[in-house]
Amino acid sequence: MASQSSTSTDWPGRYYHIDQVLNTPGPRTDEAFLAGDGVKDFLRNQAKILVIGAGGLGCEILANLALTGFKDIHVIDMDTIDISNLNRQFLFRPKDVGQPKATVAAEFIMKRVPGVKVTPYFGKIQDKDDDYYMQFNLVICGLDSVEARRWMNATLVNLVDPENPESLKPMIDGGTEGFKGQARVILPTVTSCYECSLDMLNKPTAFPICTIANTPRLPEHCIEWASVLEWPRVHGDKKMDTDDPDHIGWLYKVAAARAAEFKIEGVTWSLTQGVVKNIIPAIASTNAIIAAACCNEAFKIATSSAAYLNNYFMLIGTDGVYSYTFEHEKRDDCPVCGGEALEMTLSPETTVEQLIETLVEKQDIQIKKPSLSTPTKQIYLQAPPQLEKSTRPNLEKKVSELVPPGGEVTVTATTLPFSLSLRISYS
């Protein structure tokens, strides 16, 4: 981004190249495309866009949006700047370490691109209500959290009112991992949503609390036990710092001892650090490609100047460079945008604890700390503590003792704003 010496916020030629796209319809423009001043005015004076995440992807997205002509941008991020961010999150400098990412990113963009207003929020997306999200025309997610994506996706689907077309907020989602990345366009209730494609994600790294507490089988179970259960038991309210070598060392020592007790091999220092920090490799160039794809889709949706993505773009750069675009279809049994109960066949011997473990590990479900109930009884509740204690004996019971064939089980989790209906059969 070159420096600007002019005092004008819209210096001559600032949008010259963008205006070449907006002045004249092309062979793939939408019939609703209003070439000329009308579309320029909407883009630069009316469109309000929300960016979720101000990290590796978010920094690229914010810069691209500002330079493309969006002038009313909001950004949410709950993190502060760490020195390890500086190699790829180019809106930050060493002096910014420890400061909120959203605030610093907003200030940087407004300083370098005069006339653009970026409103930051340092906090969680869950802090905001439906009225807050209703004000935006578009939402772009540049997150490294599956849970946050699922929450945002479900929130936007729940906002849709068939009687109010303005309630449909397109969501553009981008994600990267090393040399791989994806960008997608989600039209809530119209196209497949984020929840529909959970089975495409890597195997989840979350483990059911009952497994890590009672029957660990993997080195990761022992590490989770040390961090989730033993740390608060030994250290009380003292917060764990995953960047502190002493803290990681304590976890490694405790996890290794538990692994030895259960004859489990594979607990190492690096694995301990990887599990507790949930490290996802990031490369600046991949972030730039995926952010560019997301912002191009935002521009196309906002202006109708070209057909937007339908609906999934995948980039694979691990062996050469390969990209693929396809339409991911909706799932009828999607708990967010589907409506039908998910059919699940269990053995008559399956226990409640085993069912919970399945729900956590199954690719198309992936619910951390699920609570189970039927219309007539509470099977197992993760919280509050008194209800968890009273329902804990059910963990050892067979599901077939509690749920008849064809019966439905409602699955909920505090981290997700929706419930999942399971229709149980036995074989």
User: pLDDT at residue 10 above 70?
Assistant: no
pLDDT at 234: 92
Q: Which of 197-206, 244-253, 313-322 has the lowest mean pLDDT?
A: 197-206
Residue 4 — very low, low, confident or very high, per pLDDT cuts 50/70/90? very low
Answer whether residue 3 shows pLDDT above 90.
no
pLDDT of residue 26: 82
pLDDT (tens digit per residue) in 284-297: 999 999 999 999 99
Write down the pLDDT at residue 239.
86
Higher-scoring residue by pLDDT: 75, 375: 75
User: Which range, of 68-77, 151-160, 199-208, 213-222, averages the lowest pLDDT?
Assistant: 199-208
pLDDT in tens, 145-194: 888 899 999 999 989 998 899 999 999 999 998 899 999 999 998 999 99
Judged against a pLDDT cut of 70, whether residue 240 lies above it is answered with yes
Question: What is the reported pLDDT for 1?
Answer: 46
Q: What is the pLDDT of residue 243?
A: 75
Write down the residue that tokens 């979720």 correspond to. Answer: 52
pLDDT by residue (tens digit) across 133-156? 999 999 999 988 888 899 999 999
Contacts for 186-191: CB closer than 8 Å, 24+ residues apart: 186/153, 186/156, 186/311, 187/311, 188/153, 188/156, 188/157, 188/159, 188/160, 188/337, 189/157, 189/160, 189/337, 191/310, 191/311, 191/328, 191/330
Q: Please state, for a pLDDT cut of 70, what percent of the chain lies above it.
A: 95
39 φ/ψ angles, rounded to the nearest 5 degrees: -70, -35
pLDDT recorded at residue 7: 37
Pairing of strands 48-52, 180-186: unpaired
Between 269-277 and 245-261, two packed helices, what is the crossing angle to 10 degrees? 110
pLDDT at residue number 207: 66
Q: Which residue has the higher pLDDT, 254 or 12?
A: 254
Mean pLDDT, range 94-99, rounded to an integer: 93
**Domain boundaries, given as residue ranges, for the chain:** 15-202+282-326, 209-277, 342-426
Q: What is the dihedral of CA 395, 401, 406, 407, to 10 degrees?
A: -60
Res 206 pLDDT > 80: no
- Can you name the CATH fold of 15-202+282-326? Rossmann fold (3.40.50)
Q: Is the pLDDT of residue 368 over 90?
A: no
Per-chain mean pLDDT for the chain: 88
Share of the chain above pLDDT 90, in %: 55
Q: What pLDDT score does 202 carry? A: 62
- The pLDDT of residue 291 is 96
337 is catalytic: no
Q: What is the mean pLDDT of residues 104-119?
A: 95
Q: CATH for 342-426? A: 3.10.290.20
Q: Which of 309, 306, 343 is nearest to 420 (CA)?
A: 343
Between CA 109 and CA 69 the distance in angstroms is 13
pLDDT of residue 58: 95
Say what the pLDDT of residue 416 is: 77
In this structure, the chain runs to a length of 427
Please tell me the distance from the alpha carbon of residue 113 to that of residue 4, in angstroms, as a whole number: 8
What is the per-residue pLDDT across 303-353, written as a single tens digit (0 to 9) for each? 998 889 998 999 999 889 999 999 999 888 888 887 778 888 999 999 999
Q: Identify the architecture of domain 209-277 in CATH.
A: Orthogonal Bundle (1.10)
Catalytic residue among 141, 193, 196, 210: 210
DSSP string, 81-126: --GGGTTT-TT--GGGTTSBHHHHHHHHHHHHSTT-EEEEEES-GG
Long-range CB pairs of 92-97, under 8 A, 24+ apart, other chains included: 92/59
